């Protein structure tokens, strides 16, 4: 992580568009050259974020996902801006629209539901446990495939996720009403495709089916 001064930060910031902010201030900026900076607060004095800053987690996750062939942003650099108690990751935008935005304009049809199920199954089978996996952090790319943004909060295991983790992750995927309500419309297709790709033995498959059904009821 590169230490930069507040002045250097302001130089990057010059002419930027604010993509997201919260009560603590700006969170995501699109710079003049189209690249994006995401800021993380260093929250408490005693916090795991002090030892393993979110910006670095983001960078490491991006690199692992790329190695696995899963679409995500391309990291340019990461920064520590001590004077404003922030770390930051600077990356190239992944072309596409968030799934949430896409659905607002096109609705969630069977084809997209099937592709989404296949993508989630792939993440689970390959050990990717992405707690922030809601429709605002899933990007649908121009070739109608999926990618991930906002990837600081993620664990990548060397083995596939167990049933319990999968079920928990379906709760994460559908934690916002707006996302859950659109997925509900295509739940048969979604569940069928997910289970087909996971190819679990009958009992596990049944358990998963019941649980995903419950999450989407
Ligand atoms: N790589 C990207 N490609 C396209 N849009 C992005 C990208 N990164 C961020 N955005 C936009 O900025 C928004 C906020 O970014 P995100 O990293 O999800 O921050 P947060 O959820 O913490 O506000 C996203 O929902 C999306 O609209
Ligand atoms: Mg987000």
Domain 97-215 indexed as CATH 1.10.510.10: yes
The ligand with the least distance to the CA atom of 149 is: 1
Task: Please state at what angle helix 110-125 crosses helix 99-106, rounded to 10 degrees.
Answer: 170
Mean pLDDT of the chain: 95
Q: How far is the CA of 198 from the centre of ligand 1 (A)?
A: 29
Q: Name the token pair of 160.
A: 């596939």
The ligand with the least distance to the CA atom of 73 is: 1
Find all residues with CB under 8 Å of 75, minimum gap 6, and list them. 58, 59, 62, 63, 89, 90, 91
75: pLDDT strictly greater than 70: yes
Q: Which residues surround ligand 2, an ion (CB under 5 A)?
A: 136-137, 150
214: pLDDT strictly greater than 80: yes
DSSP 60-97: HHHHHHHHHT-EE-EEEEEEEEGGGTEEEEEEEPPSSE
Dump pLDDT digits (tens) for 87-111: 999 999 999 999 999 999 998 999 9
Dump pLDDT digits (tens) for 168-207: 999 999 999 999 999 999 999 999 999 999 999 999 999 9
The pLDDT score that the predictor gives to residue 52 is: 86
The pLDDT score that the predictor gives to residue 48 is: 67
- H/E element holding 37? strand 36-41
Q: How far is the CA of 137 from the centre of ligand 2 (A)?
A: 5
Among protein residues, the one whose CA lies closest to atom 12 of ligand 1: 19
50: pLDDT strictly greater than 70: no
CATH assignment of 2-92, among 3.30.200.20, 3.30.450.40, 1.10.3720.10, 3.20.20.70: 3.30.200.20
27 C-beta closer than 6 A to ligand 1: yes
Average pLDDT over residues 18-36: 95
- Least confident window among 48-52, 64-68, 122-126, 128-132: 48-52
Average pLDDT over residues 19-29: 94
Dump pLDDT digits (tens) for 110-149: 999 999 999 999 999 999 999 999 999 999 999 999 999 9
CA angle 169, 173, 179 (to 5 degrees): 165
- Contact in structure between 108 and 114 (CB atoms under 8 Å): no
Q: Per-residue confidence at 150, pLDDT binned at 50, 70, 90?
A: very high
First to last CA, the chain: 44
In the three-class reduction of DSSP (H, G, I as helix; E, B as strand; rest coil), residue 35 is classed as coil
The pLDDT score that the predictor gives to residue 87 is: 95
Outline which parts of the chain fall under CATH 1.10.510.10: 97-215
For the CA of 36, the closest atom of ligand 1 is 8
Outline which parts of the chain fall under CATH 3.30.200.20: 2-92
């Amino acid at each position: 992580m590169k230490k930069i001064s507040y002045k250097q930060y302001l130089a990057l910031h010059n002419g930027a568009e604010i993509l997201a902010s919260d009560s603590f201030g700006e969170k995501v900026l699109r710079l003049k050259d189209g690249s994006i900076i995401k800021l993380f607060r260093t929250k408490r004095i005693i916090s795991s974020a002090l030892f393993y800053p979110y910006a670095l987690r983001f960078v490491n996750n991006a690199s692992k996902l790329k190695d696995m062939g899963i679409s995500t942003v391309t990291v340019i650099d990461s920064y520590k801006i001590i004077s404003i108690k922030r770390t930051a990751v600077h990356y190239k935008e992944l072309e596409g629209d968030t799934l949430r935005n896409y659905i607002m304009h096109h609705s969630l049809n069977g084809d997209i539901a099937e592709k989404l199920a296949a993508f989630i199954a792939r993440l689970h089978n390959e050990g990717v446990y992405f707690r922030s996996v809601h429709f605002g952090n899933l990007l649908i790319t121009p070739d109608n495939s999926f990618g991930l943004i906002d990837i600081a909060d993620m664990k990548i295991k060397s083995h596939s996720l167990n049933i319990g983790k999968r079920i928990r992750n379906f709760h994460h995927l559908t934690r916002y009403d707006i996302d859950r309500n659109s997925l509900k419309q295509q739940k048969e297709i979604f569940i069928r495709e997910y289970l087909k790709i996971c190819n679990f033995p009958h009992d596990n498959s049944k358990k998963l089916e019941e649980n995903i059904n419950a999450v989407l009821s």
